[in-house]
Amino acid sequence: MPENDLQTRRSARSWGGEGATGAGATAPLPPDRLVSADFYRGAVMLLMMGELLRFSQVAKAFPESRFWQFLARHQTHVEWTGLTLHDLIQPSFSFLVGLGLAYSVAARKQRGESFRSQALHAGWRSLLLIAMGVWLRTAPNQPTNFTFEDTLSQIGLGYFPLFLLATVAWPWQAVAVVGLLLATFGAFALFPLPAESLDLTTVGVTPEFATQHNATGFLAHWNKNTNFAFAFDRWFLNLFPRPEPWQFNRGGYSTLNFVPTLATMLLGLLAGGWLRRSIAAWPKLLGLWGSGVALLGLGWAAEHYGVCPSVKRIWTPAWVLVSGGWCCLLLGLCYAILDWGGWRRWAWPVTLVGMNSIAAYFLAHGFESYLEARFNSHFGVGWPGFLGDPWKGLARGAILLLSLWLVLAWLYRRRIFIRI
């Protein structure tokens, strides 16, 4: 999604090295391109598309296998507090939007684009991202479902403020992160707790969920569908035309998640500004990893000492810190291997996905069902017939995932990159 202006910069050096041939050498990469960002973004998109593999089906068939239980756990979201690898998809994507914007704004300035031109582009991109997210959350043949919890809508709602903050010095960006976290914390902490007599099933919270996940005392301010963000959506989402009044979000997600998500994007913007500095690679790496450890420590302390829980579904301040810490650590790892170490040849299958993330996102949220229907038409609903359960589902997922990757590889070889 972030622009690295690939179309305007070309290099005579191929991915596989000068004179290399094969799939990995079909297109040159600019020598100043941050390959680690493309790889990280591609890994995130493949992790999202990897839901097709349905590890949970295999894990259910082999309940004693720690291996399959581990894979299944990290292919699903936690129900409320905590995190799995799958929970890091959206914060990573948001973090990388900020990272890419740091490079994009610098490139546009270098080309002599005016602030007005950049602002108009950022505003258009913001509106388009919001609309795309709403469209993806609308079921086929149903009235438009005006909700804004999709990743694209969340990024779009915060994108224009992110652009404005990208034009100021980094200390102000850091102040903005702190301000957003404090404002979010205050809004939830000051919102009155629900009456004890409230029937939680009326807001989509089952007794089983409440027993396992609802907190008591001060942390109850962040319980599912009884918090400040939920109350806002009860008012805001019912301003839009809909077949019946909006009551609650089953997963507990909310529109106002975009405010702390903006803080996550700002962490990416700060990381991008740090990596753009004219200093050696090793202090850049230490800066990323040091920031990651510090953010993780602050997030852990906030939860451990009962200040704020770490909940992705409502993007709590502790979640911003914990997920932001992981993003810095993972980006640092990619940077150490690909940009500092220069070991890039092996990474091209993942990197090409990251270079076309918008296309990958839409393939994963629409084309995969069309593709599966075509396979069903040609090979029957039970394909591949020579495999039994649960391996059949795993094989189907692998074939569909490979097919989606081949579409992205085809787009890459023809230099087709979807930008907005």
Which tokens is 301 given? 């302390």
**Section 195-210 average pLDDT:** 94
Q: What is the CA 2 to chain-centroid distance, rounded?
A: 13
CA 199 – CA 202 distance, rounded (Å): 6
Q: Is residue 298's pLDDT more than 60?
A: yes
pLDDT for 32 equals 60
Measure the CA–CA gap between 230 and 226, rounded to whole angstroms. Answer: 6
- Per-residue pLDDT at 17 exceeds 70: no
Q: Is the pLDDT of residue 205 over 80?
A: yes
Answer for the pair 126, 157: CB distance below 8 angstroms, yes or no. Answer: yes
Confidence at residue 111, expressed as pLDDT on a 0 to 100 scale: 92
DSSP string, 11-40: -S-BTT-TT--SGGGSSB--TTS-HHHHHH
Backbone torsion region of residue 342, taken as left when φ is above 0, otherwise alpha when ψ lies between -120 and 50, otherwise beta: left
pLDDT tens string 207-218: 999 999 999 999
Q: What is the pLDDT of residue 375?
A: 82
Q: Hunting for tokens 């009456």 — which residue is that?
A: 195
Mean pLDDT, residues 87-101 taken together: 96
Cα(163)–Cα(269) distance, integer angstroms: 10
pLDDT in tens, 131-153: 999 988 887 767 778 999 999 99
Note whether 78 and 84 are within 8 A (CB): yes
pTM (two decimals):
0.89
Q: What are phi and psi of 14, to 5 degrees?
A: -90, 170
DSSP letters of 200-266?
GGGGT--HHHHHHH---GGGGGGSTTSSHHHHHHHHHGGGS--SS-----TT---GGGHHHHHHHHH
Is 26's pLDDT higher than 60? no
- 3-state secondary structure at position 73: helix
Across all residues in the chain, what is the average pLDDT? 89
Q: 311 in helix, strand or coil?
A: strand
